[in-house]
């Protein structure tokens, strides 16, 4: 009885295929463990200023640009210790929501004044970074002694939802969570103070 010509070759290839499968399985097992919340977080330095949120995501999706009078679209931001906060957690507090980047000279110019605004007892400043990783934001914050909350948003979904394509842009949010004013471009300290005083 004649044996099919490929039976012998199957005997040779079967151990090779099993060995290849084992190698691939081990490689996948090495990559599959939980290493962190995201690739951006895995790259974060150990010594992180307490005001830097290393991850964020948009919650309230929508296509229409929020206008004064609208509720401010909600988002979440997570600090290095794992604590997650939401913009909506700040109801009852006046908020200045500023969009910025480390490469933006007008944004950097605003930072000391935003720091002064945040020092007030009646307002909180949130600085949402546009498209940069935490390992870029952290040294920027440390070198300038910034203590107000800086939020990494490398996906850019928060900036996109708020229409922050050209930065800086700031939203002044009333204590009830509605938008009072949208400011496009750089502000002086006096402009910031004036808009904060208009918040309800």
Q: What is the pLDDT of residues 150-182, one digit of tens each?
A: 999 999 999 999 999 999 999 999 999 999 999
* Entry pTM: 0.77
Strand 52-58 relative to strand 94-100: parallel, antiparallel, unpaired? unpaired
DSSP 115: H
**Pair of tokens at residue 80:** 């290095």
**Pair of tokens at residue 32:** 């599959």
**Pair of tokens at residue 9:** 């070759």
The pLDDT value given to residue 47: 76
Q: What percent of the chain has pLDDT over 70?
A: 77
Distance, in Å, from the CA atom of 85 to the CA atom of 37, rounded to the nearest integer, reads: 15
Task: Considering the domain delimited by 39-198, tell me its CATH architecture.
Answer: 3-Layer(aba) Sandwich (3.40)
Distance, in Å, from the CA atom of 41 to the CA atom of 35, rounded to the nearest integer, reads: 9
Q: Tell the residue number behind the tokens 């002064």, with chain if given.
A: 116
- Confirm if 152 and 145 have CB atoms less than 8 A apart: no
Mean pLDDT of 30-52: 53
């Amino acid at each position: 009885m004649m044996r099919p010509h490929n039976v012998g070759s199957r005997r040779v290839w079967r151990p090779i295929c099993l060995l290849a499968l084992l190698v691939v399985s081990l490689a996948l097992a090495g990559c599959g463990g939980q290493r962190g919340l995201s690739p951006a977080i895995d790259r974060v330095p150990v010594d992180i200023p307490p005001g830097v949120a290393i991850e964020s995501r948009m919650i309230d999706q929508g296509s229409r640009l929020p206008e004064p009078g609208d509720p401010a679209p909600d988002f979440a931001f997570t600090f290095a210790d794992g604590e997650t906060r939401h913009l909506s957690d700040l109801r009852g507090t006046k908020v200045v929501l500023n969009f910025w980047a480390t490469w933006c000279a007008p944004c950097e110019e605003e930072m000391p004044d935003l720091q002064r605004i945040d020092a007030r007892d009646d307002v909180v400043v949130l600085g949402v970074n546009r498209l940069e990783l935490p390992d870029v934001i952290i040294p920027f914050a440390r070198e300038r002694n910034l203590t107000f909350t800086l939020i990494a948003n490398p996906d850019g979904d928060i900036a996109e939802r708020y229409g922050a394509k050209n930065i800086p842009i700031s939203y002044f949010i009333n204590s009830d969570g509605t938008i009072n004013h949208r400011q496009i471009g750089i502000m002086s300290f006096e402009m910031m103070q004036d808009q904060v005083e208009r918040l309800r």
